[in-house]
Structure 1
Amino acid sequence: MKRIAIVEYGMGNYHSVERALRHAAPDADIVLTGTPEHILAAERVVLPGQGAMGDCMRTLREAGLQEVILEVARNKPLLGVCVGEQMLFERSEEGLTDCLALLPGEVKRFSGPMFDESAGPARLKIPHMGWNPVRQVQPHPLWDGIADGTPFYFVHSYHVVAADSTLVYGQADYGYAFTCAVARDNIFAVQFHPEKSADDGLRLYRNFVDWNP
């Protein structure tokens, strides 16, 4: 039985992720934990996150889990979700926060004329919230059984800007094209919420459980 640890550090929709994973993979041992030993003992790890980046990074460090995530990223399948994706990059404009620097790039707020009040009724609201089609920029085992252009559920004001285009595996549009899925080696991460994305979100979680990078 595969053991999957969901990292609990005080800033995430842990129980929604846990329920979705249990539904997608009833044959797996799902552990919701903030204990380093339990996370390191798991075969694969999910890093969720929500809220302000500064608070997420602070609580992760105060929980003594930053080095644990860095260790996991060296040799275990790691799935980042929402702010958990953003945390993998070098820094964020949100609070000018230093992040985990596992992937090159930064996190930026949606910006541009289409988001200004001067745009009038055509103005796009922040946060970006709701269902949005995702283009699969590159094939990946976590896309198995999920059609290109499938909508997933988003709630966010910031998005990652990867310094290396080869990291980009999914894009969506909100005023402009933005990266919403990244991958490298044993890491895969998404801006959207699979646990709020119906059957296709569950399929992505199941694909993660079966993935052997």
Structure 2
Amino acid sequence: MIAIIDYDAGNIKSVEKALQYLGEEAVITRDREEILGSDKVILPGVGAFGDAMEKLHQYGLVDTIQEVVDRRIPFLGICLGLQLMFESSDEAPGVKGLGLLPGKILRIPKKGDMKIPHMGWNDIKIKEGAKLFAGLEDHPYVYFVHSYYLQADDPSIVAATTEYGVTVHASVEKDNIFACQFHPEKSSTVGLQILKNFIAL
């Protein structure tokens, strides 16, 4: 069973539907025991960094997430979920992220007539051997919606990048921690393959 962490963030139901479509049992929960008893855990999300961290603290989920990581349960962050895994964000100065991985979330710089948020389909460059992208050819197209992007401190954890005025660290992998800035649940067959790869870990 896969636990989808419920902290009142948007887009949780579409992740649940994608997992169910793949025949996977999923539960939306903020119950510590249910989360820690799951085979895998997903932290999805659409929304603001500061509000999300406040909710995670309010529901006592920060310690639970740390325990998931410490127990080596496969853990996947999606969109805002990726951003929350890092130390800080330009979106909420002074608010500490989960700090599971070293890096910062920066605002996408405005260049010319480039639209922000970065919204729609874009291709990603995949690092060879990245587990989430097994079975996919390089430069598949996936669906993004974000105004802030990850700059990871450790290049070795970056599993995929995309270009949008800057080089966006679009996916990371380290030990049992995985994350995507894009939405696999909205990325058609490519996204379903990524979720299948996570399920199969």
- What is the Cα-based RMSD across aligned positions, in Å? 1.0
What is residue 10 of structure 1 aligned with on the other side? 8
Aligned twin of 1:105? 103
Indicate the SS of the match to 2:109.
coil
Which of 90, 93, 96 is the aligned partner of 1:93?
90
**Partner of 2:86: helix, strand, or coil?**
coil
TM-score by length of 1: 0.91
Structure 2 SS opposite 1:19: helix
Look up the equivalent residue of 1:151 and give its one-letter code: Y
Specify the code of the residue in structure 2 equivalent to 1:12. Answer: G
What does the per-residue CA deviation read over 1:137-182, in whole Å, with 9 as the maximum and x for residues that have no partner? 2422211122110000000000111011111110001112211001
Please list, as runs of the form range in 1=range in 2, the aligned pairs for 1:8-87 lying within 5 A after superposition: 8-24=6-22, 26=23, 28-74=24-70, 75-87=72-84
| Aligned: 1:146 with 2:144 | no
- Give distance in 2, aligned partners of 1:132 and 1:57: 28
Q: 1:110-129 alignment to 2 at 5 Å?
A: 110-112=108-110, 114=111, 119=112, 123-129=113-119
Determine the C-alpha separation between the residues in 2 that align with 1:44 and 1:164: 24
Greater gyration radius: 1
Q: How many residue pairs get matched?
A: 199
The answer to whether the 8 A contact 1:138-1:170 is kept is no
Structure 1 residue 177 corresponds to structure 2 residue 167: yes
1:43 CA drift (Å): 1.1
Tell me if the contact between 1:7 and 1:34 (Cα under 8 Å) persists in the aligned partners. yes
Structure 2 residue runs of 5 or longer lacking an equivalent are none
Question: Match of 1:98, SS?
Answer: coil
Q: CA separation in 1, counterparts of 2:82 and 2:128?
A: 17
Determine if contact 2:161/2:171 at 8 Å carries over to the other structure. yes
Do the aligned partners of 1:23 and 1:202 also contact (CA within 8 Å) in 2? Answer: no
Q: Which sections of structure 1, spanning at least 5 residues, go unmatched?
A: none
Aligned partners of 1:50 and 1:56 also within 8 Å: no
Give the secondary-structure state (helix, strand or coil) at the position aligned to 2:8.
coil
Aligned counterparts of 1:138 and 1:165: Cα–Cα separation in 2: 14
Q: For 1:127 and 1:139, how far apart are their aligned partners in 2?
A: 30
Percent of residue pairs identical: 43
Q: What's the TM-score, normalizing by structure 2?
A: 0.96
